[in-house]
Structure 1
Amino acid sequence: MQNELKEFWSQGDFQSFTGKNTITIRYAHFSNKTGSPTVVISSGRSESYLKYKNIIFELHQQGYSIFILDHRGQGLSQRMLSNTHKGYVERFDDYAHDLHQFITSIVNPTSTNSLPYLLAHSMGCAISLRMFQLFPQVVKKAALLSPMIAINTGVLPHFLARFIVNIGRVINHIFSNEPWFFIGLSAYKAKAFHNNQLTHCKKRYKSTINLYEENTNIQLGGVTFHWLSEALKAEHNIFSDLDKIHTPLCIFQAANDNIVDNKKQDIFCDELNQLAPHLSAKSPIVIEGAWHELLFETDEIRTKVLTRALQFLES
């Protein structure tokens, strides 16, 4: 299997384009037979397309052409701060502009079919939703896995978390031109499997850790006050611009997710369903027993999610 995967990966097309504000965005493309449907993958925070090798291979085996980009400030794409481990973006919507440019300028010219499908995870879902609101009808359908509609603030009420983030950002701007890590966060440091809240699959978790140890240039640490402030703005915009979404969506919710706010996913689905029942079910598809990274979970969970996501996209 590893030799087959290595041979497959060597046939990929690895390129870059210049995104908003002249930031270099890296991407990978794996073409299939002429006329095959296209899937665009929008990954989560701190991820690289290198992490998605097995998923890309599996999708390709099922007859899809795949495009995947590394979002600005992470993966193999250009970092915007001198400390490359700080999670940062100037404006959250910059991500959405990059994704739109990627699809319209690079993906669509290669496709002989209609619009591509989109498969997104976590932050990649928030980016996709903002793209749908800023640039309607870019993709045919989208499956959103553990979407970061809102960050899980834990025991802190949402209003208090917002206050702390915004005050911190103001203080940061007063005393330094360099964005600060949020309280308690730092440069990349691998966690032991028993301390993780991303997946129950030890094999996939260790594989990811090894990938980041072997490719130190894709490592990314915690987020900055600035990034969190922009993420909170994105959450506000996602709900305030709900009527601008015209793309059919399927939301997959990890029942035991501690990274994003599942209640906000419920509210999002309910409100979008009330506005446009043909675009979204009234509630997410809940994956019982799952943690945040649905595509890197145990075989049973991963297979269930990927199968249902592709069924939705093709239905």
Structure 2
Amino acid sequence: MDARPNDLQAAPFFAEIAKGPEGAQAHWVKTNDGLRIRVGHWQSEATTKGTVLLFPGRTEYIEKYGPAAGELANRGYATVTIDWRGQGLADRMLADRRLGHVVDFQDFQKDVAAALDLADRLALPKPYFLIGHSMGGAIGLRAAMEGLPVKACVFTGPMWDIHIAPMMRPFGKLMGKIGPVIGLGGKLVPTTDLQTYVLANPFEGNTLTNDRACYQFMRDQLTAHPDLALGGPTINWLGQGLKDCAVLAAMASPALPCITFLGKQEQIVDCPAIHDRMARWPGGELELLDDVQHEVMMEAPAVRTQVFDRMCSLFDQHR
């Protein structure tokens, strides 16, 4: 169904790799600091219960969440998701588009505001709900703390701190402070790669998912559309990420119903920070998943069914 106002600018959307519900649309929107980002949505006559604001992780892009949008649509919910600044088809921050960079982590809130404005202009069904994955979990937590108009929230492997070797943490913080001053803020973090993770690493031994089909799905997407790919983070991204996580950790949890899903094989984000946050989230639930890695929404079919059933049960309770 096309509810697009006449003044919105259509953006490319690669339906053939998204494998989501029919009728998806993508739009270009401008943030209040002048960047062009891409926002996509899935809506149909069956998605009347509300709209999920799905905040992706670092390196991700709209099409990756086609299957998730299908799961949500099957349970009555529309989906909005986003190419954050510096990734997907949104404006990249550096001349070398392979570098994952941000000037200030709070700049992502400008992207949130632009996506929310689009959802309102499209008159997508309300109420709104939040799913934040990985880096999107950090962005989503801050947004929720600052009054994002959602009725409930879900997080999957949220980046409430970065999993980093203890000896590297002081280096990361230090370089985050002085890197930009000495001209290194835009340099790749040592030990990371300019090639995107799923193309640089085989399925065997990967740290994202135990489901071979989901891993191949991600590889196929980036092989078909290389412009969606993103490599490792810059020194400034790491320093800003560590700083923002520390600031968020000192803040109280928002007064929202919440479930957080964490794979017991998580290796990407910092698990103690997740346990700490959920221990002081009144009414919040932490669900630990056996034989699951970082990509909670891209694991075996039985896991996906369990997770999306629980998510939408929460949303149904708070409509």
Q: TM-score, normalised by structure 2?
A: 0.87
Query: 3-state SS of the aligned residue for 1:50?
Result: helix
Give the counterpart of 1:152 among 130, 152, 163. Answer: 163
Tell me, yes or no, if structure 1 residue 187 matches structure 2 residue 164.
no
Give the counterpart of 1:248 among 238, 244, 257. Answer: 257
CA displacement 1:240-276 (0-9 Å, x = unmatched) = 2225x2332211111110001111111111123xxxx
Runs of 5+ in structure 1 lacking a partner?
Answer: none
Q: Shift in Å at residue 174 of structure 1?
A: 4.7
Tell me, yes or no, if structure 1 residue 44 matches structure 2 residue 19.
no
- In the alignment, the residues of structure 2 paired with residue 35 and residue 124 of structure 1 have an alpha-carbon distance, to the nearest angstrom, of 25
Tell me, yes or no, if structure 1 residue 212 matches structure 2 residue 222.
yes
Given that 1:108 and 1:116 are in contact with CA atoms closer than 8 Å, whether structure 2 keeps it comes out as: no
Aligned CA-pair RMSD:
2.3
- 2:149 aligns to what? 138
Q: Shift in Å at residue 111 of structure 1?
A: 4.1
Q: Shift in Å at residue 173 of structure 1?
A: 3.1
Please tell me the residue identity of whatever aligns with 2:138: A
- In the alignment, the residues of structure 2 paired with residue 268 and residue 40 of structure 1 have an alpha-carbon distance, to the nearest angstrom, of 21
Tell me, yes or no, if structure 1 residue 32 matches structure 2 residue 44.
yes
- 2:247 aligns to what? 237
Given that 1:39 and 1:67 are in contact with CA atoms closer than 8 Å, whether structure 2 keeps it comes out as: yes
Q: How does 1:291-306 map to 2 (within 5 A)?
A: 291-306=293-308
Given that 2:30 and 2:114 are in contact with CA atoms closer than 8 Å, whether structure 1 keeps it comes out as: no
Given that 2:20 and 2:70 are in contact with CA atoms closer than 8 Å, whether structure 1 keeps it comes out as: no
Give the counterpart of 2:68 among 49, 55, 77. Answer: 55
Please tell me the residue identity of whatever aligns with 1:60: A
Tell me, yes or no, if structure 1 residue 99 matches structure 2 residue 108.
no
- In the alignment, the residues of structure 2 paired with residue 230 and residue 78 of structure 1 have an alpha-carbon distance, to the nearest angstrom, of 19
CA displacement 1:266-303 (0-9 Å, x = unmatched) = 1111123xxxx24x23xx11111110001111112121
The change in CA–CA distance for 1:6 and 1:268 in structure 2 (over 3 A counts) is closer
- In the alignment, the residues of structure 2 paired with residue 46 and residue 21 of structure 1 have an alpha-carbon distance, to the nearest angstrom, of 21
Q: Between Structure 1 and Structure 2, which shows a larger proportion of helix residues?
A: 1
Given that 2:20 and 2:68 are in contact with CA atoms closer than 8 Å, whether structure 1 keeps it comes out as: no
Q: Shift in Å at residue 20 of structure 1?
A: 3.8
Q: Shift in Å at residue 93 of structure 1?
A: 1.0
Runs of 5+ in structure 2 lacking a partner?
Answer: 1-14
Q: TM-score, normalised by structure 1?
A: 0.88
Tell me, yes or no, if structure 1 residue 23 matches structure 2 residue 25.
no
Give the counterpart of 2:273 among 239, 264, 273. Answer: 264
Q: Shift in Å at residue 237 of structure 1?
A: 1.7
- 1:200 aligns to what? 210
The change in CA–CA distance for 1:268 and 1:215 in structure 2 (over 3 A counts) is same
Q: How does 1:103-122 map to 2 (within 5 A)?
A: 103=116, 105-111=117-123, 114-122=126-134
Determine what percentage of the aligned residue pairs are the same residue.
24
